């Protein structure tokens, strides 16, 4: 679509690059994995995003899962407006925190207590400290391809095979920090057992995305989460279920409800803020009571429990009853089936994987069960399909290894048209 005329997005990107690293405030937005210039957006409503040039897109990013009701949902907007009219921050307790905490604990009965922070990353930092304090151990076990925020301890991946001590995945992470991180392949209980045995008495916690959504969508295999819980019990390590992406997206009570797994601690974010910056952590009462001011584990935040964010989160959860999840399931099923036949029509080997309103298309013949198999997806083909979809008015996550999200405002019509555009983009990419 090179008309020789610069788009407003291109102009903004050029200015942004002189102001912010890579022109963005979070790396994946920069289109590095797919090439081209990132789009800058001016507004969003329902299932649609409008870019700075006025072009409209069906949104499959939905703010990385946060926007489950669709953009600018009237109840969320009015809750935010009402809260804002009463002041934007008090730095002191208020009713909105109590109301949202009650709603979360009602939906996640395995949690006894919760604390609000401002992002998933912050929640992650807090539970690592808490787990270490509670167990008197330092090591954390995580899974390759799972993401738990931009946290030193968790920015590690395995080398070849299961590394005992992993290398940091980011510059600036001290090697002694990375040495406290153990990494196992997702869905591999044998590897977890081996690591826990090799580091007996040293592993404070096992962190897991129960449904992995940050290497594309990779569901847990039957027995994986139960097995993990049993191994944690056996080794007296805490199980930390990361529900930042899945919480209140995959069911009324997240992964813990959908798969009936009881974590010791959990972290949340995204949906619970209804598009405003929120995170939370919660879990067993005895553990949560170790947090200040009741206990010795310090954690604090000037804007934590922000009135606007609490109001947006509560208004969002209020709309999410059993029928909302049934609706998302049915839309998802329609999209999944249509994408599968689209790929089959073009004759491209794909794995379409879905849990609720999170879905991924891997261009590979191999079943995708972990990071290694996720990496077999044809990334060059994805980059072409991504741009084909963009041209046709569909905004997919700008990386082959990210899940796609949709909202309650997406329609059957959207799903069918999306699959048609996908088929056309795939044909074009292969031509």
| Residues 265, 249: Cα–Cα separation, whole Å | 18
Provide the β-strand partners of residue 281: 115, 267
Q: Is 158 in the site for ligand PLP (CB under 6 A)?
A: no
Alpha-carbon Rg for the chain, nearest whole angstrom, is 21
Q: Is 147 in the site for ligand PLP (CB under 6 A)?
A: yes
Q: Is 125 in the site for ligand PLP (CB under 6 A)?
A: no
| Residues 417, 252: Cα–Cα separation, whole Å | 28
Q: Which residues contact 388 (CB under 8 A, 6 or more apart)?
A: 421, 424, 425, 426, 428, 429
Comparing CB distances to ligand PLP, the nearer of 127 and 408 is 127
147 is annotated as an active-site residue: yes
Per-residue binder mask for ligand PLP (CB under 6 A), 262-281, x = binder: -------x---------x--
| Residues 288, 283: Cα–Cα separation, whole Å | 6
Comparing CB distances to ligand PLP, the nearer of 255 and 338 is 255
Q: Which stretch binds ligand PLP (CB under 6 A): 231-239, 240-248, 296-304, 321-329?
A: 240-248
The DSSP 8-state label assigned to residue 40 in this structure reads: -
244: three-class secondary structure by DSSP: coil
270 is annotated as an active-site residue: yes
Q: Which stretch binds ligand PLP (CB under 6 A): 95-103, 127-135, 238-246, 324-332?
A: 238-246
242 is annotated as an active-site residue: yes
| Residues 314, 104: Cα–Cα separation, whole Å | 9
Q: Is 245 in the site for ligand PLP (CB under 6 A)?
A: yes
Candidates 139, 270, 281, 394; catalytic one = 270
Comparing CB distances to ligand PLP, the nearer of 227 and 254 is 254
Query: Could you tell me how many residues of this chain bind ligand PLP (CB under 6 A)?
Result: 16
Q: How far is CA 172 from the centre of its chain?
A: 24
Single out the residue of 9, 47, 63, 119 in contact with ligand PLP (rule: CB under 6 A).
119
Candidates 51, 59, 242, 414; catalytic one = 242
Among 98, 96, 44, smallest CA distance to 70 is for 44
Single out the residue of 38, 46, 96, 120 in contact with ligand PLP (rule: CB under 6 A).
120
Output the six-digit token pair for 79: 């809750």
Single out the residue of 59, 209, 264, 370 in contact with ligand PLP (rule: CB under 6 A).
209
Among 393, 399, 384, 395, smallest CA distance to 348 is for 384
Residue positions annotated with a catalytic role: 147, 242, 270
> Which residues of this protein are in contact with ligand PLP, per CB under 6 A?
64, 119-121, 124, 147-149, 209, 213-214, 242, 244-245, 269, 279
């Amino acid at each position: 679509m090179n008309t020789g005329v610069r788009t407003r997005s291109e102009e903004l990107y050029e200015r942004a690059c002189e102001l912010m690293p890579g022109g963005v405030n979070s790396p994946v937005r920069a289109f590095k994995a797919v090439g081209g210039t990132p789009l800058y957006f001016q507004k969003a409503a329902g299932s649609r995003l409008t870019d700075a040039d006025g072009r409209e897109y069906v949104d499959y990013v939905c703010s990385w899962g946060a926007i489950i009701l669709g953009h600018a949902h009237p109840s969320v907007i009015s809750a935010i407006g009402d809260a804002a009219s009463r002041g934007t921050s008090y730095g002191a307790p208020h009713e909105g925190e109590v109301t949202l905490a009650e709603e979360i604990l009602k939906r996640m009965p395995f949690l006894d207590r919760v604390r609000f922070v401002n992002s998933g990353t912050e929640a992650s930092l807090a539970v690592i400290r808490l787990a270490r304090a509670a167990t008197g151990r330092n090591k954390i076990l995580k899974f390759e391809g799972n993401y738990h925020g931009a946290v030193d301890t968790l920015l590690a991946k395995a080398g070849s095979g299961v590394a005992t001590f992993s290398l940091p995945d980011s510059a600036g992470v001290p090697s002694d920090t990375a040495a406290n991180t153990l990494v196992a392949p997702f869905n591999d209980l044998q590897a977890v057992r081996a690591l826990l045995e090799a580091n007996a008495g040293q592993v404070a916690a096992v962190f897991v995305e129960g449904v992995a959504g940050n290497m594309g969508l990779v569901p847990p295999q039957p027995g994986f989460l139960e097995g993990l819980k049993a191994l944690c019990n056996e080794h007296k390590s805490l199980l930390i279920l990361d529900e930042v992406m899945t919480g209140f997206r995959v069911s009324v009570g997240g992964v813990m409800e959908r798969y009936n797994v009881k974590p010791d601690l959990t972290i949340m974010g995204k949906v619970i803020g209804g598009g405003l910056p929120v995170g939370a952590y919660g879990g067993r009462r005895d553990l949560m009571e170790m947090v200040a001011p009741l206990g010795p584990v310090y954690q604090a935040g000037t804007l934590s429990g922000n009135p606007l964010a609490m109001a947006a989160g509560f208004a969002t959860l209020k709309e999410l009853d059993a029928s909302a999840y049934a609706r998302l399931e049915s839309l998802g099923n329609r999209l999944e089936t249509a994408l599968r036949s689209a790929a089959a029509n073009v004759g491209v080997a794909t794995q379409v994987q879905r849990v609720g309103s999170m879905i991924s298309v891997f261009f590979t013949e191999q079943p995708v069960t972990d990071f290694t198999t996720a990496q077999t997806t044809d990334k060059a083909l994805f980059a072409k399909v991504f741009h084909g979809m963009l041209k046709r008015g569909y905004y997919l996550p700008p990386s082959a290894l990210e899940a796609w999200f949709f909202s309650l405002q997406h329609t059957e019509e959207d799903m069918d048209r999306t699959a048609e555009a996908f088929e056309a983009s795939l044909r074009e990419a292969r031509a």
